[in-house]
Chains A and B, each alone.
Chain A
């Protein structure tokens, strides 16, 4: 899949790596953003069609679409995964917050359309917003653990990939993940109370 975008992304990653282009991450953002949304949609479509489908590594799929794997090092790849997971989080949270805001009384047009939307979506939005807030709290104390959550939950990545990105052992990744879940669970319950 070596389209124009793929060349762009690969080139940006390489320039970034070699220090030629300091703005590479900023330039990378919109490209990845679009592709991620596309992958997310396709994913949802598949999910709707086939409920038995296993969760795929979302970011990995986007990566395959966007990057010419032969030209980049593992380090570039790590950068990419980091950005992609961060973006996935941003996209989802943007939606979740907009949804919640609208539910509380946004513009009439939006509100109208949302009345028809299912309550499930609203529940989902609330949960995500709370989770995101809690994750911010976790970042302040345990930045790496928070990053693990971002890569795994938002980026859909496996422990092995995460260990490559963060340069820690797989075991550490698993421990971070377990801890973060316990911690976030308690935070969420505390908020709810």
Chain B
């Protein structure tokens, strides 16, 4: 029933509606007149007033709330909808990031889980980023990790991941339902650790470990979900907007480590922390909340478990377990009734803290060390006795079983003590301990008397020498590292001869140590011999071989013979791939050495005046740094790679980029190594060059002093670094008006520099000649400086080319000289060279 004049009808209704009821009849009578039908229509509508008042009196969103809320199809995707090969079955759940669906994989006929990400992500960036990461994530193949099958973007531009569908219940729920005992819970948790550890070895950090991401299947097997997904969505690795960044960070704060909450780079230690929270909940059945509360809550827990827990939950990443494997190992020790590594603080931690507090009392620490060494020796001795027992037992069959058990027991003890000793010594590892260089004192004290103490146990003595050598080398304190390595090698040679594997290993160690201080000739010989011995092994120890090849390649590369290094490194890479896999730290180290060789190729090219592929070297370093940062961000290799990168960037004269990297380098270095070591020196050196280029000479004078002293003390006088630093210092003095003071430094640089075979890149002997020339010029000794400036200029021109800043600067010096000397013809000639592109009239 439609009124014929809708507008008039509406007007009547609206008007009447606004009147008091009593007035309506009169109004309508007048307005409708004889049109009874119209009036009836209007009155019918007015009669709806009560009901209409209840209609739409809440906004539709609120009205439809239940509809949206309880609905299965509230998600982005509808059941039955196709997403590539996948048919959506149902919405499994929703989270902060998006939705998870159950889907049928129509191609492979299996069920999969699809995670749809609904946070703002640029499609293109995501796809690019995803492709980079996918390979790594898809390669994770572990029974306790849900597989990632792939991922793509919906037609609406939302990224999604396709993952193995896991039918399981959350870890804690499972533990509660099955009323698992503490021991059963620990065993279950160790399986989780094994999976996380596997992923770490493959360069994948979970970043969002929490009970909801750990499911237990009907068979009682834990399965970890969403491995690496957080990284895929990480703003640091993908270019996205701030919103996403916040969203990602805010994801699961209860389980996030302090550094994660602060938005710092996450490492495997962050996963250790998150696992610690999970561990706590699994044992205590609730979240730790604030850390200090936890202590009270856990009173009823075993003291050892308590210690394990708190070691995993340390606020400082470096004080947590250094790996998930170690965390798990400690739980195993607990389960087997062995002492756990996590005391209130680890022994190593206490030792280093002690040393820090009592510089004078280091001797006491040496006593502890010796006690440990004694323990090691005793057990080694026991093991040998047991072995002898066994040999005898082979004659007397009846004793075999007993002897075997004895051997095993002794071996276990030896392993344990070894482990303990290593743990103590590894507190000297800057990657773990941070700045405490004073640990060196512990090592010094320990090394002092071992020769006497172990005189009757040469085999053990050699091993202890090796251990100490490695510890010193890790600290980059080379002289004692070399001494211990030499002693070990000497003993092994005497005991087993040249062709023995133990001797080869000692050669490997000494060679590696020597490479640090550029004693490359001897290092090369040692490594080549060790390689020959190792190659004769059958079956070959693939890993050892790969390491030897890598170090040898590195030595050749450092000796600027990249062409010779290349085949060794290629072989090493292939072997390492088989023995450790592509995502292992060791593999990355080979990649790093290759990057270095590539870098050296550019040096060779530069020396031969060929075009150098520095971009390639830079790209190589960047790749390696990224991998290191994931796997071992505070390792010396990571720092070293950054140093090399800075050097390359400097060579390319990309000062801004270099400065940026240098800053990161400094942060990394200070955090892990402190200021008193070779890296700090290198870094200061790099800084001083940058500041020199900027013309901040007073700052250069400050910066260069320490590297100079260090280099003079540690390197041969004709080493290019010494020459360069002396030159830099002398020139900075000259340019701050102290030319006379600078002269001796420049003279020394000149004298030693003439004996230096190779200068890298832009730094040539011509630089030294020009610098000394400038110093003499500043003192008004024109005749003396002329020949220096001229030969320096020629050298620069030949080596670097005419249009290079350094050559042009040398031309400027000559122009200044001739101008001051009042020789305008010569001055004009060099004015033209000073800037070959400009008008030569100036």
Chain A complexes with chain B = yes
When C-beta atoms are compared, the residue in chain B nearest to A43 turns out to be B61
User: In the bound complex, what is the Cα–Cα distance between A10 and B806 (angstroms)?
Assistant: 52
Chain A hits for B78, CB < 8 A: 98
Interchain CB contact under 8 A, B59 and A55: yes
Shortest beta-carbon distance, B154 to chain A, in Å?
11
Chain A hits for B52, CB < 8 A: 178, 181-182, 184-185
Given known pairs A58-B59, A120-B66, the reply for A109 and B79 (CB within 8 Å) is yes
Residues of A140-193 whose CB lies within 8 A of B: 141-142, 145, 149, 152-154, 156, 175, 178-179, 181-186, 188-189
Interchain CB contact under 8 A, B10 and A179: yes
Given known pairs A185-B48, A186-B45, the reply for A44 and B68 (CB within 8 Å) is yes
Shortest beta-carbon distance, A122 to chain B, in Å?
9
Interchain CB contact under 8 A, A99 and B61: no
Chain A hits for B56, CB < 8 A: 131, 149, 152-153, 181, 184
Interchain CB contact under 8 A, B61 and A156: yes
Interchain CB contact under 8 A, B73 and A95: yes
Interchain CB contact under 8 A, B14 and A178: yes
User: In the bound complex, what is the Cα–Cα distance between A95 and B78 (angstroms)?
Assistant: 11
Interchain CB contact under 8 A, B60 and A153: yes
Q: Please tell me if A5 contacts chain B, counting CB pairs below 8 Å.
A: yes
When C-beta atoms are compared, the residue in chain A nearest to B64 turns out to be A92
Interchain CB contact under 8 A, B59 and A153: yes
Interchain CB contact under 8 A, A124 and B66: yes
Interchain CB contact (< 8 A) of B67 among A3, A95, A152: A95
Q: Please tell me if A78 contacts chain B, counting CB pairs below 8 Å.
A: no
Q: Please tell me if A105 contacts chain B, counting CB pairs below 8 Å.
A: no
Q: Please tell me if B840 contacts chain A, counting CB pairs below 8 Å.
A: no
When C-beta atoms are compared, the residue in chain A nearest to B157 turns out to be A30
Q: Please tell me if A11 contacts chain B, counting CB pairs below 8 Å.
A: no
Interchain CB contact (< 8 A) of A55 among B62, B69, B74, B241: B62
Residues of B31-86 whose CB lies within 8 A of A: 44-46, 48-49, 51-53, 55-56, 58-74, 78-80
Interchain CB contact under 8 A, B241 and A128: no
Q: Please tell me if B30 contacts chain A, counting CB pairs below 8 Å.
A: no
Q: Please tell me if A121 contacts chain B, counting CB pairs below 8 Å.
A: yes
Q: Please tell me if B655 contacts chain A, counting CB pairs below 8 Å.
A: no
Interchain CB contact under 8 A, B60 and A154: yes
User: In the bound complex, what is the Cα–Cα distance between A127 and B54 (angstroms)?
Assistant: 13
Main secondary structure of the interface of B (DSSP, over half): helix
User: In the bound complex, what is the Cα–Cα distance between A124 and B65 (angstroms)?
Assistant: 9
Q: Please tell me if B243 contacts chain A, counting CB pairs below 8 Å.
A: yes
Interchain CB contact under 8 A, A95 and B64: yes
Q: Please tell me if A28 contacts chain B, counting CB pairs below 8 Å.
A: no
Chain A hits for B242, CB < 8 A: 3
Chain B hits for A95, CB < 8 A: 64, 67-68, 71, 73-74
User: In the bound complex, what is the Cα–Cα distance between A120 and B14 (angstroms)?
Assistant: 34
Residues of B333-348 whose CB lies within 8 A of A: none
Q: Please tell me if A41 contacts chain B, counting CB pairs below 8 Å.
A: yes
User: In the bound complex, what is the Cα–Cα distance between A72 and B147 (angstroms)?
Assistant: 48
Q: Please tell me if A114 contacts chain B, counting CB pairs below 8 Å.
A: yes
Interchain CB contact under 8 A, A142 and B10: yes
Chain A hits for B44, CB < 8 A: 186
User: In the bound complex, what is the Cα–Cα distance between A109 and B243 (angstroms)?
Assistant: 36
> Interface residues of A toward B: which range?
35 or more
Q: Please tell me if A14 contacts chain B, counting CB pairs below 8 Å.
A: no
Q: Please tell me if A19 contacts chain B, counting CB pairs below 8 Å.
A: no
Chain A hits for B46, CB < 8 A: 182
* B188-214 interface code vs A (CB 8 A; 1 in, 0 out): 000000000000000000000000000
Main secondary structure of the interface of A (DSSP, over half): helix
Interchain CB contact under 8 A, A181 and B73: no
Chain A hits for B13, CB < 8 A: 179, 182
Interchain CB contact (< 8 A) of A43 among B14, B48, B62: B62
Interchain CB contact (< 8 A) of A121 among B10, B71, B118: B71
When C-beta atoms are compared, the residue in chain B nearest to A38 turns out to be B118
User: In the bound complex, what is the Cα–Cα distance between A55 and B56 (angstroms)?
Assistant: 13
When C-beta atoms are compared, the residue in chain B nearest to A157 turns out to be B59
Q: Please tell me if B17 contacts chain A, counting CB pairs below 8 Å.
A: yes
Interchain CB contact under 8 A, B60 and A89: yes
Interchain CB contact under 8 A, B55 and A181: yes
Q: Please tell me if B2 contacts chain A, counting CB pairs below 8 Å.
A: yes
Interchain CB contact under 8 A, B65 and A47: yes
When C-beta atoms are compared, the residue in chain B nearest to A119 turns out to be B66
Chain B hits for A184, CB < 8 A: 52, 55-56
Q: Please tell me if A83 contacts chain B, counting CB pairs below 8 Å.
A: no
Q: Please tell me if A52 contacts chain B, counting CB pairs below 8 Å.
A: no
Q: Please tell me if B770 contacts chain A, counting CB pairs below 8 Å.
A: no
When C-beta atoms are compared, the residue in chain A nearest to B17 turns out to be A178
Interchain CB contact under 8 A, A118 and B66: yes
Interchain CB contact (< 8 A) of B49 among A30, A154, A182: A182
* B240-259 interface code vs A (CB 8 A; 1 in, 0 out): 01110000000000000000
Shortest beta-carbon distance, A190 to chain B, in Å?
9
Give residues in B with beta carbon < 8 Å to A. 2, 6, 10, 13-14, 17-18, 44-46, 48-49, 51-53, 55-56, 58-74, 78-80, 89-90, 118, 120, 122, 156, 241-243
- Can you name 25 A-B pairs with beta carbons within 8 Å? A40-B61, A44-B68, A47-B65, A92-B67, A95-B68, A96-B64, A98-B78, A109-B80, A109-B89, A109-B90, A110-B73, A113-B72, A117-B72, A128-B60, A128-B67, A154-B59, A154-B61, A156-B60, A178-B52, A181-B56, A182-B17, A182-B48, A182-B52, A184-B52, A186-B45
Give residues in A with beta carbon < 8 Å to B. 3-5, 30, 34, 40-41, 43-44, 47-48, 55, 58, 88-89, 92, 95-96, 98-99, 102, 107, 109-110, 113-114, 117-118, 120-121, 124-125, 127-128, 131, 141-142, 145, 149, 152-154, 156, 175, 178-179, 181-186, 188-189
